[in-house]
Amino acid sequence: MLRLFLLLLVLAGGSPTLARPLVAILAEPRGTETTDLIAPYAVLAESGAIDVRIVAAGMTPIRLMPGQAFVRPQATYADLRPDVIVVPFMMPAADPAREAWLKAQAARGARIVSICAGAETLAHAGLLDGRDATTHWFELGRLAKAYPQVRWRRDRRWIVDGNVTTTAGVTASIPASLALLRDLAGEDTMRATAARLGVPPPVQAHDGAAFRVNGDAVMAGLSGWANAWRSQTVAVKIADGFDDLAFATTLDAWSRTNRSEAFASASAVSRHGLAVIAPEKLPRAGRMVKALTGDPALVLEDIASAYGKPTARYVALTLEHPYWLTK
């Protein structure tokens, strides 16, 4: 019977294929963290092995934070039954409709991945009860008090417990997305994708205890606030076909300096079909930067060249990136 089926398929001009895994990345119009949202999309889409969609309750544009730009959703909750759901940090963290959909998908066996403080959305839904989990270093203490039934840890960039994955802060989204890609499509696909994106292969080990507010962070923060009166507007230059990951890391990092506010220079569609909408009224750019690299370390070096290394390290602290550990 199988041989007859294959013969008929060949005669019809077809071939047996397996459906690609479908990944839904949740988004909230009121505010969704920039890199948390776009990095998983960029990594998975670049692989060519995964179908990935930005999903929201409706089709209202998603306000990115930080930075001045919006992203257009690609589907609604009702449209999809995904294999994997990625949950970035969103404001508000809890939403009844979103939570109901998320719990229903988890109940039918979907894998759930939170990015950064998106862990609060999972914890509020009860999806982290009795599990090991992590989140952004700054949120760990607060969430540990609010959700004591979760075993919170700070020694990994991402943690897998059953069908639930959680990650450390913001830039952990990149290695965690590569690790997810490895699970879904294999080591070779993951490494080839990382090479094309210009980012290193994922490393899970993480010294989360080293990320804390200290004298260096306070001084850099105060310096930025003291210079707020001459804060720059930074245009992140994009056009159709732009690099999604490079755009996300650039917009995000340049918006965290306390010396600048970044915005998308134009509305455009990325090479992977992500529609970015620029602010309705574009500010006058005090500085123009190109989105050239998805590697946050290189973006931080550009910020160090502009505002000094203390400011770049401060940004790295907020992004929970290992650049913070450099001197």
- The pLDDT tens digits of the residues spanning 184-203 come to 999 999 999 999 999 999 99
Mean pLDDT of the residues in the chain = 92
14 domain-assigned: no
Residues 293 and 304 in one domain: yes
Residue 154 sits in the same domain as residue 226: no
Q: Is residue 8 part of a domain?
A: no
pLDDT for 164: 99
In terms of domains, do 77 and 224 share one? no
Q: Which residue has the tokens 């720059």?
A: 232
Return contacts of 299-304, CB within 8 angstroms, 24+ apart: 299/249, 299/250, 299/253, 299/254, 300/253, 303/253, 303/254, 303/257
Which CATH number does the domain housing residue 81 bear? 3.40.50.880
Peptide bond into 283 cis (omega under 30): no
319 & 275 share domain: yes
The pLDDT of residue 327: 72
Measured CA to CA, the distance from residue 15 to residue 13 in angstroms comes to 7
Distance of CA 322 to the CA centre of its chain: 17
Residues 38 and 144 reside in one and the same domain: yes
The whole-angstrom distance between residue 147's C-alpha and the CA centroid of its chain comes to: 23
Look at residue 9 and tell me whether its pLDDT is greater than 50: no
> What's the pLDDT score for residue 18?
63
Least confident of 158-167, 169-178, 207-216: 207-216
Q: Which of 185, 208, 231 is the last residue of a domain?
A: 208
In whole angstroms, give the CA distance from residue 35 to residue 244: 10
Given a cut of 80, whether residue 222 has pLDDT beyond it is no
What total of structural domains would you count in the chain?
2
Asked if residue 6 belongs to a domain, the reply is no
- Examine the domain organization and report whether 168 and 243 are in the same domain: no
Task: Look at residue 19 in the predicted model and tell me its pLDDT.
Answer: 86
Q: What percent of the chain has pLDDT over 90?
A: 85
Average pLDDT over residues 217-221: 75
**Residue type, position 157, single letter:** R
Measured at the CA of 281, the angle between CA 275 and CA 285, to 5 degrees, comes to: 90
**Listed range (1-15, 16-30, 174-188) with the worst mean pLDDT:** 1-15
Domain membership of residue 15 (yes or no) is no
Residue range 146-154: mean pLDDT, rounded: 97
- At a CB cut-off of 8 Å and minimum separation 6, what does 100 contact? none
- Residue 30, domain member (yes or no): yes
Whether residue 307 sits in one domain with residue 178: no
Please check the confidence at residue 2 and state whether its pLDDT lies above 50: no
> Rounded distance, CA 27 to CA 62, Å?
7
Please check whether residues 39 and 186 belong to one and the same domain.
yes
Last residue in a domain, options 181, 208, 235:
208
% of the chain with per-residue pLDDT over 70: 92
Based on the domain organization, do 188 and 238 belong to the same domain? no
Domain assignment of residue 161, yes or no: yes
Both 108 and 161 in one domain: the answer is yes
**Does residue 185 fall inside a structural domain?**
yes
Question: Does the pLDDT value for residue 220 go beyond 90?
Answer: no
280-309 residue pLDDT tens: 988 888 899 999 999 999 999 999 999 999
Same domain, 202 and 219: no
User: If you average pLDDT over residues 131-139, what whole number do you get?
Assistant: 98
Band of residue 228 on the pLDDT scale cut at 50, 70, 90: low
CA distance 163 to 277: 34
User: Does any domain span residue 5?
Assistant: no
Same domain, 165 and 258: no
Q: What is the DSSP letter of 289?
A: E
Classify the C-alpha dihedral 83-86-90-92 as positive or negative: positive
Given a contact cutoff of 8 angstroms between Cβ atoms, the answer to whether 52 and 23 are in contact is yes
Q: Mark which of 208, 224, 242 sits at the end of a domain.
A: 208
Structural domain boundaries enclosing 221: 211-325
d(CA 122, CA 308) in angstroms, rounded, equals: 37
